[in-house]
Amino acid sequence: MRVAGKTALVTGAAGGIGGATARCLAREGAGVILSDIDRDGCNAICEEIRSGGGVASVAIADVTREQDIRSLFSELESRPDALDILVAVAGGDVEPAADVEAIDYDRMSRNLDLNLKSCILCCREAVRLMKPKRYGRIVTMSSLVYRGSPGQFSYSAAKGGVFSFTRSLAMAVGRYNITVNALAPALVDVPVFERVLGTKRWEALAADAAARYPLQRIAAPDDVARAALFLASDDAAFITGQILEISGGARL
Query: Residue 188 has what DSSP assignment?
Result: B
We find the least distance from the C-beta atom of residue 50 to ligand NAD, in angstroms, to be: 19
We find the least distance from the C-beta atom of residue 195 to ligand NAD, in angstroms, to be: 9
Task: Verify binding: residue 9, ligand NAD, rule CB under 6 A.
Answer: no
Q: Which stretch binds ligand NAD (CB under 6 A): 33-41, 75-83, 100-108, 173-181?
A: 33-41
Could you give the C-alpha distances from 186 to 98, 119, 143, 144, in angstroms and in order? 19, 19, 7, 5
Q: Which of residues 193-252 bind ligand NAD (CB under 6 A)?
A: none
User: Between 60 and 82, whose beta carbon lies closer to ligand NAD?
Assistant: 60
C-beta separation of 135 from 178 below 8 A = yes
Q: Which stretch binds ligand NAD (CB under 6 A): 24-32, 90-98, 123-131, 232-240?
A: 90-98
Cα(49)–Cα(46) distance, integer angstroms: 5
User: In this chain, which residue has its C-beta nearest to ligand NAD?
Assistant: 15
H-type alpha helices, 8-114: 16-27, 39-51, 66-77, 105-111
Position among 30, 141, 206, 250 found at the interface with ligand NAD (CB under 6 A):
141
Q: Which of residues 101-140 bind ligand NAD (CB under 6 A)?
A: 114
C-beta separation of 83 from 126 below 8 A = yes
Q: State yes or no: is 135 an active-site residue.
A: no
- What are φ and ψ of residue 14, in 5° steps? -85, -10
Amino acid at 65: R
C-beta separation of 217 from 159 below 8 A = no
Could you give the C-alpha distances from 124 to 84, 165, 249, in angstroms and in order? 14, 11, 32
Task: Verify binding: residue 16, ligand NAD, rule CB under 6 A.
Answer: yes
End-to-end CA distance of the chain: 33
Q: Which stretch binds ligand NAD (CB under 6 A): 61-69, 122-130, 168-176, 197-205?
A: 61-69
We find the least distance from the C-beta atom of residue 23 to ligand NAD, in angstroms, to be: 13
Buried residues in 126-161 as b, exposed as e (16+ CB within 10 A): bbebbeeeebbbbbbbbbbbbbebeebbbbbbbbbb
Task: Verify binding: residue 86, ligand NAD, rule CB under 6 A.
Answer: no
Position among 48, 62, 66, 222 found at the interface with ligand NAD (CB under 6 A):
62
User: Between 109 and 132, whose beta carbon lies closer to ligand NAD?
Assistant: 109
Residues annotated as catalytic (active site), given as ranges: 155
Contact residues toward ligand NAD (CB under 6 A) are 11-12, 14-18, 36-38, 41, 62-64, 89-92, 114, 141, 143, 185, 187-188, 190, 192
